[in-house]
Every structure is written in structure tokens, then in C-alpha cells.
Structure 1
Amino acid sequence: MTTIVSEPTTKAPVAPTLPPVDLSDRVGLRKTAAHSLTMAYRGLLKFRRNPEQYFDVVLQPVLFTVMFAYIFGGAISGSVSAYLPLIIPGILVQTVLTTSMVTGTQLREDMDKGVFDRFRSLPIARISPLVGALLSDAVRYVIAITITFVTGIAMGWRPEFWGTLAAALLVIVCAFALSWIWAWLGVIARSASSVQGISLMILFPLTFLSNAFVQVHTMPGWLQAFVKINPISHLVSAVRSLANNGVADIHVLWSLVGAAVIVAIFAPLAVSRYSRQNR
């Protein structure tokens, strides 16, 4: 009679369990800044891998400047060269502010794809993905500003050097402030397409009902009243004064005040709603 000896069954080694990461502690300001810069670098990597996302900031300034200058320059200012000091600041403001809408659109896309759910499991500052997305878009502003200025100079525009740098910085500050509105929309909206649609519905009327492309005195009286209080008009006037004459007038102050008010209102709204959704 043969005895069947069964081999002892060996149990698979149990992987040691790691202690859960405690994310309840508050992250200090220094670490929050470092995490935000890391997330901004992530945004730049996305742009490098998807260069087609730069098409709007590369092509729009060239197309709009050339078309507006050669189509409307003679009718509005008598010549293209006389129209450039008027149109270049307007094109610059329109291009950069339109570019800022990408912040809310891409934020909504990342949230829909579950990217921010992964960030929530990491021991990082809760607010860093949101701030990093806004910071990375500043590169798009710089590209749009540079191409707009280079196009205008190639066509014969001769701005004041230091005033041009100050105008570029002012536009970047205002665009960053405006991006908080789109970030708030990106957090509360249901889709990226709705963010884009709402942003265009808000920004395009404000841009075209301003002094960006024509002189205010050529408009009807009722429209002049709106254009003069339009915040886009203040920003365009500030850029014109800085870039063309190197002078910082009252419109620079109004633009900075408007940017501060926007940040004071919409940054807490965006951060609060974002924090509630990512608890």
C-alpha cells in the first residue's frame, strides 16, 4: 500500500502594509509654493508634448495684426503706419486675454479625466494643482506678447523700449488676474465646452465694445458711455500710453485696481469650490 505524501502548501509572502499618508496636516507656505511650481512644470511638459496647443498664441497675433492693419488702416487712420500705434496694443490685449480662457478649459478637462483625483492621493498642498495650472499659462502670455510686438515692429511700428516692457508686464498681470474667473468657471462648469462658450460670451463683447480697434469719439454717444467704463478700454489705453510714449497714466492704475478686485473676488471663490470638490 503506497502512501501519498502531499507537499506542504507554501503561502505567498504578504507584502508589508504601508501606513496611510496623512493628508490632513496643513502644508506650509514654502512647500505650497514648491508644489505649485512643480505643477506648473507639469503644465509646461503638456505643452511640449502637444505643441498644437500653441497655435492660437502663435498664429492669432500675426493674422489679426496683418488683417486689421491692412484692411482697416487706411479707412480709420489714413495709412497702415498711422494705424499701428492704435491697433497693436488692442491686438495685444485681445490676444492675451483670449489666451487666458485656456486656463478654465484645461482645468475642467483634467478634472473630467480624473487627473485631480490622483493628485488628491498625494501628500501635496491641495491648492497646488490649481495654482500650478494658472502659472503655466503665463508662458502662453509671454509667447503671445512677443509675437504681437515682433509682428508690429516688422510692419513698421516703433514703440518705446522700456514702456513696451512695462506694458507687457501689465498685460501679464491682468491676464493672470482674469484667469481666476475662468478657473472658477472651470471648477463649477459641467464640461470644458461650456467653459469655453461662457468665456467667449463674456470676453468677446467686452473686447470689441472697447477702444481696442477704433477711437472712442467715432462711436455713437450711448456706446461711448459704455466704452469709457469698460475695463478692457482702460487696459488698452494703459498699454498704448506705455508702449507708444513710455508714460504711465491713470489707466495703468485703473487696470491694476481692476486686476486686484478680480483676484480678491474670484480667487477665494475658485479655491473654496475647488477645495470642496477635492476633499
Structure 2
Amino acid sequence: MTDSTVPTDTESVGRNGKPRLRGWKLFLRDVVVIFVIALVVSVLIKTFLVRSFYIPSESMSDTLVQNDRIIVNQLAPDLMHLQHGDVVVFKDPGNWLTPTPPVEQNAFAAAVDWTLALVGLSAPDSNDHLIKRVIGLPGDHVVCCNELGQLSVNDVPLDEPYVSLPDGSTDVSKDDFDVTVPADSLWVMGDNRYNSKDSRYQQDTPSRGFVPLEDVVGRALLISWPISRWTWLDNAPDTFRGVEQGAASE
């Protein structure tokens, strides 16, 4: 007579005398646990550390081109100070962007996009953000252009190798300006200087062309897609060498 309490080859008896799962059931449980842990970790990373954005325009060309995907470090500026030359993503400070209607998606595509956005692999809100290069930090005096067509920060003229200009143009800005950056704000410009609606052209908005630090989402670290354009994004330290000393001497 078979004893019904004897465990099968896919079970073992636990301390309470009840059968314990083994084999495929245990494997399935482990997979679910690992998936949940990975999902939670991904959400935490996306919320507090890094996230992905795509580039919707050519305003940062040739550094960034349309449809590039970038990884953004969200620890800046709260836990990591921003520096001259950093490429930053920020929320619209007010009336910089023209309102656009939401993109219509079928239910499946919307669900996939929502899931990828949850873990930071998609950026459906990229069109609600801007990306530019930090030219002026709080207290900086930013002027353009000198007799050589250069921009200067704290009386230090800049040699900007990342700037894209139309053929025949030598001035790094089509329009002159002279501003002093207020506290807790930035002056930002696109690398595609003749095709960027940046701080220069937002001086009649509520922010007067400056970006409040509280609106900064983070600093762009690298181009993650397409693979052929994978590269780290630096802040052109040679360009801004000496600018801090200029600011300190004022």
C-alpha cells in the first residue's frame, strides 16, 4: 500500500511536514522573484540615478543629432556640481517650447512605451525637455561677440571647437548679447548656433532666458544609440580653462 505522505521526486518535506516545491515550480518562483527585483532596481535607477532621452531636433548638431539616444546622470546638479561646458537636459522654464499635441498610439504600443519608460529605456517625455550646453554659471558675465566673433565668459574669450556654423560664418552667434547670470541659474546655448532657440532667444520669457537650476534634470553622459555614434560627452575643459579664475577676480 502506497503511503500518500511520501514526497514525489519533485517535492521535499519542509520543517512543518508539508511538501516543499522543487523542480520547475521552484525555478519559476525564482524567475519571478528575480524579475521583480530587477524591475524595482531599474525603477529606482531611473528615478534617482540615470535615465534615457532621445534628441528631437538638430539644435545640438554636430555633437548630438536628431534621434540620438543619450544617458543622463540625474545626480547633477543636486549632488554633483555642474561645470562650464556640460551638456544638460532641463524642463521647459516657461514658454521656450511650442505646445505639441500628444502622439496617438495604439494600446499595445502605448503599453510597451509605458513599460520601457518605467525602467528608463524609453523617454516619451523627451519633447517636453530641452538639451543645451552650459555656457554661463551663476554670477558669470557672458558677452558675444568680440572682434574675432568669439563669445567670452568673465572676459575670457572662448575657442569653441564643438560649435557648428553655416558656411562662411565666423561669429559664433548671429546676434550679440551681454548678460550676467543670476543666482541659481544657467545660461545655455546649442552647439548648432544658427539653429538653436536657446537662452539668447528666450529673454522675453518668464525666465528671461536663464534656466533655473531646479529645472535641470541632469547632465548628459554619453550617446547610447545608435551604436555607431556611441561616445562619451565631455564638457570641453580646454575651452573653459581660466574662466573660473576670471569669475573669481571680478
Per the TM superposition, whether the score is higher than 0.5 is no
Which protein is richer in strand relative to its size? Answer: 2
Which protein is richer in helix relative to its size? Answer: 1
Give the structure-2-normalised TM-score.
Answer: 0.24
